[in-house]
């Protein structure tokens, strides 16, 4: 199967699953991403594998954040640059943002383990709003909104939370 045909079939699976969620009462793809994203991602991984599309995995923002084991809230911590580079070699933040900017974004938008979950399949990132897949998770509409709101607020820099095991 050509790469184009494969992408088209994956897109149809994502759209089909999204339609099911809409029929079950979700108001929009955005609403799915802002409350049911983990369920959606898990179901999509199962669908991809059941339909012979090979490996796929659900990924959450928690995989890229540092956490303090002594903090019950665990929100707003800086990005784990080593893990980010390990998972996505050559990762660069969107636009003119730096990794330090992403740390401020994380604090400002209260990124935490449940912030967003999506699917990684053959190098592309999928969720209810990105059925065609995108090259970087930061291109997902969910994260684009987070960045846009942070920029509209004047790119506020807040003290980046430090974990008990992290030192810049």
At 97, is the secondary structure helix, strand, or coil? coil
Taking the whole predicted model, whether its pTM rises above 0.85 is answered as yes
Question: Per residue in 93-121, pLDDT tens?
Answer: 999 999 999 988 988 888 887 899 999 99
CB 5 within 8 A of CB 11: no
Domain positions in the chain are 3-152
Question: Per residue in 51-93, pLDDT tens?
Answer: 999 899 999 988 888 877 777 776 778 889 999 999 999 999 9
> What is the Cα–Cα distance from 60 to 143, expressed in whole angstroms?
12
């Amino acid at each position: 199967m050509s790469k184009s045909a494969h992408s088209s079939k994956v897109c149809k699976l994502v759209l089909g699953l999204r339609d099911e969620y809409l029929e079950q009462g979700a108001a929009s793809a955005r609403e799915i991403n802002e409350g049911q994203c983990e369920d959606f991602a898990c179901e999509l991984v199962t669908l991809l594998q059941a339909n012979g599309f090979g490996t796929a995995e659900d990924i959450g923002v928690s995989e890229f954040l540092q956490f303090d084991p002594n903090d019950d809230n665990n929100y707003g911590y800086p990005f784990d640059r080593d893990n980010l580079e390990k998972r996505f070699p050559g990762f660069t933040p969107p636009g003119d943002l730096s990794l330090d900017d992403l740390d401020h974004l994380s604090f400002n938008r209260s990124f935490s383990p449940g912030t967003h979950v999506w699917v990684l399949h053959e190098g592309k990132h999928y969720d209810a709003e990105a059925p065609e897949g995108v090259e970087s998770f930061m291109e997902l509409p969910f994260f684009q909104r987070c960045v846009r709101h942070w920029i509209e607020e004047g790119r506020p820099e807040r003290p980046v939370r430090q974990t008990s095991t992290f030192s810049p």
